[in-house]
Chain A
Amino acid sequence: MDHSPTSKPEPAPPGPLDFLDFAAAQGGRLYRTAYLLTGGDSHLAEDLVQEALSRLYPRWKRLSRLENPAGYAHTVLVNTFLSLRRRRSSSELVTFQFSEVAVHDGDPTLRLTLLDALRDLSAQDRAVLVLRFWEDRSIEETAAALRLTSTAVRSRSHRALNRMRALLGTGFAERSRPAVEPR
């Protein structure tokens, strides 16, 4: 008689390995959000991502069962950014120093102009724009992530966009691209 188990083995509970997988899979996207939030400060962006992910770590067993842990991680990232901005200084030290990498930038002028303009905004206005126009979140989703009312998000978004328009001007993307010489 065959006594071998016929039922499928239970899936292993999520552990540190799963966390590392998640962090590695989402790290790039989180970093880019952080990069825009910090106005182009790559070191601060890496620190911010590590800090946000480390806040998930102690509760990872529970969080990994969420429907959309990545969305939750992005919300934590934005709130970490805002709280760090409020505290002005973080006592955390960067765990790993990353070497500088060459950026393959098609249009450095556009990038620098945009990042300069972003740095000119308040942290919360910047967060609203990044969530709305980089992460494509709706007004309601943005409001929920930032713990603001929808009206406040609309108002902030409108005001921040006007500020961007004033700083960059309409058609700034076209203007900043080098003109193609006709053959």
Chain B
Amino acid sequence: MPFEDEFSHALREAAEASPPTSVELLAIGAAQRGRRRKRRRTVVASASAMAAMACVGVLTLQLRPSADVSSPSTVGTTADPATPAATRKLPPLTPVPAPVTSGQLLELFKAELPADLRLSNAMTQDGSAGGSVQLTAAYTATDGHHTGGVEINLTRAPAHPGQRASVGPCSGGIPDCTTTAEPGGASLSLYLPAQAAGGEQNWTATLDRPDGSALTISAGNIPGPGSGRDTPYPNAPLLSAAQLTALALDPVWQPLMANPGGTSTAG
């Protein structure tokens, strides 16, 4: 007998000599184990689906452009509209300052004004039209002898390529108005008119920046809202030309000029 046949015969004899104890128990045990396996697979599949959904959610949140990207802070930045959103190069992840409100402007203005002025009748005003934003904050100020109004006005207009950002208050050869160039392409216009026939006098210092933003600090003898007075104060403005210039050139306004806009918090 060839060895292969002999070996096959021996395998059969060995296998037949060892029957299972109970095929019924074997079958029941297998079914029980199978049910457990099926349950486990269902749980794993559910958990995987939930994990996948969570991953998709996280990815979506990460890839979604921030709402601030389209805020006025990015006015002037250019993005190719033909470029698909998925392939458009995203701006670097630098913190975008929140839009400034007139209430914040009022507080900052108060801190920057000379300490010897007592301030009252605070007023704020927000305005926006045609993509331009304007914030105004004002006080009635007194130095103990004289009274007047002080005001800050911050505007930002959308930049138009090939056009000057701002014409400037002295354009047209207005008397008592001087414009000086400032670093970075900005210009400072100081307008110190004489008292008008009715007694009104209002001095302004305006800083125009090439990005379309402008800051105007003004001081005058015209009574503001809430003062209970309807005729000009009989004195000169409470801020001198030097004080107006210093205030207009103060770098504290720069971050505000970069991101004006928001709701009024007039008080």
Contacts and interface: CB of A to CB of B under 8 A. Distances in A.
Q: Do A and B come from one complex?
A: yes
B31 A16 contact: yes
A140 interface: no
B116 interface: no
Interface string A119-134: 0000000000110011
Interface in B20-66: 20-38, 41
A28 B25 CA distance: 11
A52 B29 CA distance: 11
A100 B18 CA distance: 11
B164 interface: no
Contact of B3 (A32, A52, A170): A170
14 contacts: A19-B31, A23-B27, A27-B20, A27-B30, A28-B23, A50-B26, A57-B33, A58-B37, A96-B28, A133-B7, A161-B7, A164-B3, A170-B6, A173-B6
Contacts of B4: 133, 161
B10 A172 contact: yes
B14 A115 contact: yes
A179 to B, nearest CB: 18
B11 A101 contact: no
Contact of A106 (B13, B36, B41): B13
Given A27-B26, A50-B26, A53-B31, 14 more contacts: A24-B26, A35-B14, A46-B21, A53-B30, A54-B37, A55-B37, A57-B37, A96-B29, A99-B21, A103-B17, A103-B18, A115-B14, A129-B7, A133-B8
Nearest to A25: B23
Task: Give the interface size class of chain B.
Answer: 35 or more
Interface of B: 1, 3-4, 6-38, 41
A173 B31 contact: no
Interface string A45-63: 1100111111111101000
B19 A111 contact: no
A95 B29 contact: yes
Given A98-B22, A170-B3, A50 B17 contact: no
A103 B15 CA distance: 11
A34 to B, nearest CB: 9
Contacts of A183: none
Main secondary structure of the interface of A (DSSP, over half): helix
Interface of B is mostly: helix
Nearest to B22: A98
A33 to B, nearest CB: 8
Nearest to B25: A96
Contacts of B35: 57
Nearest to B8: A133
Given A57-B31, A58-B41, A36 B23 contact: no
Contact of A173 (B10, B21, B23): B10
Given A20-B27, A27-B23, A57-B35, A36 B14 contact: yes
A163 B28 CA distance: 39
Given A50-B33, A134-B8, A165-B3, A114 B14 contact: yes
Contacts of B30: 23, 27, 49-50, 52-54, 57, 95
B14 A111 contact: yes
